Amino acid sequence: MYAQILLLKYFWKPISFIFSLFCTNSTKRRAIRQKYLYSKPFPYPNVLSVADTIKLLQGGASLARLGDGEFNLALGKRSICYQKNSPELQRRMREILKNPNGKCLVGIPPRPTQSGFFREYFTRYPHILSMMKLRATYANANISRNNDFLVSGVKEYRKIWDNKTVVFIYSSAGRFDITPDLFSNIKTYHHIDISARDAFEQYDTIMAQARTYPTDYLFLIACGPAATVFAYDLCAMGYQAIDIGHLPNCYANEVVGAPMPEKLPICK
C-alpha cells in the first residue's frame, strides 16, 4: 500500500510537473496534472458513513476531526488563517491522525472520488497518507458538512445531546451559533468562551476550565484545529467530547440559504 504513496510522491508528481512546464496556459497545465497525477490510484483507509458515525456519537463516542487545515498543520506547512502552527500542534495533529482506534473516534474525509478538492489534495500531498493507518477504519469528518444528511436527519443529530447538559467551547465573537433548530432539546448548557483565532494558544486555560465540569456533561467544540485536540484530550479524561465544527453554519446554509462558513468573517 505504501508503495503507491511513494510512486505518487517520487514518480508521478515530478513527471506531471515536468510535463506541465511546457504549457504556458494555466488551464492546460492543470489539465495535464489532472491527467498524469490526479487520476492515479492511492491507498486510503476505510471511512464510516455519516449515518454510522452519528450512531456511534449517539452511543456516547467522542470525535476528533481532521480536514485539509489539520492536514496542513500535520505536514508542517504554514499557519492557517485562524490558527498558528507550532511544533507542538503539528505533533498533536500527527498523533491523533495515527490513532483512530483509541477511545476517541478520529474523523477524516471519505475516500475521494475521481475529481474534486480532496482527490487533488491527497495526490499533491501524498505524504499525509503515510501518517494514516491505512488498514484501519476512521469516522466520517463530514458530519458537520454533509448538507443532504442535515436536511433529512436533523433529528438524528439532536439525539446525541437530547436532554443532556452541554458545555459549548466556542468564540462568542466567531461564526458559531447555538441554533434552536439543532439545540433546543438540550437540558441546559454552559459556555467556555475562547478567542476566534489561535485557540490552541489557550490550551492550558481552556482545559483547566473544562476540567471543572462533571464527566457526565457533553462537550460540543467549535474552534478550528484546536477542537481536534480538545475533543481527543477530554475524551481521555472521561468526557464525551465532539468536535462539531461548522454544523450550525452548514445547517443555516442548507435550510435558509445563509453563506457557507468559509464565506463568513472569522470574527463578527
Q: In the prediction, which pLDDT does 34 show?
A: 66
The mean pLDDT of the chain is 86
Tell the residue number behind the cell numbers 454544523, with chain if given: 247
Neighbours of 262 (CB within 10 A): 9
pLDDT of residue 256: 73
Instruction: Flag whether pLDDT at 126 surpasses 90.
Output: no
Q: Which residue spans within the chain are E strands per DSSP?
A: 46-47, 62-65, 104-108, 137-140, 165-170, 188-193, 218-221, 240-243
Determine the Cα–Cα distance for residues 163 and 168; give it in Å rounded to an integer. 15
pLDDT of residue 164: 98
Selection from 205, 181, 159 nearest residue 253 by Cα: 181
For residue 188, the 8-state DSSP code is E
Q: 77 pLDDT exceeds 80?
A: yes
User: What's the pLDDT at 174?
Assistant: 81
Assess contact for 225 and 209: CB atoms under 8 A. no
pLDDT of amino acid 133: 94
What is the reported pLDDT for 252?
A: 81
Q: 83 — phi, psi (to 5°)?
A: -155, 120
The predicted pLDDT at position 112 comes to 85
The pLDDT of 70-92, averaged and rounded, is 90
Q: Which residue would you say has higher pLDDT here, 142 or 17?
A: 142
Residue that wins the pLDDT comparison between 110 and 145: 110
The residues, any chain, with a CB within 8 Å of residue 230's CB and separated by 6 or more, are 169, 203, 206, 207, 210, 219, 221, 223, 241, 243
Q: Is the CB of residue 239 less than 8 Å from the CB of residue 217?
A: yes
**For range 19-24, the mean pLDDT:** 68
Question: ∠ CA 178-184-189 to the nearest 5 degrees?
Answer: 60
176 has a pLDDT exceeding 60? yes
Per-residue confidence (pLDDT) for residue 40, from 0 to 100: 67
Asked if the model's pLDDT at residue 162 lies above 60, the reply is yes
Q: What does the pLDDT average to over 176-180?
A: 90
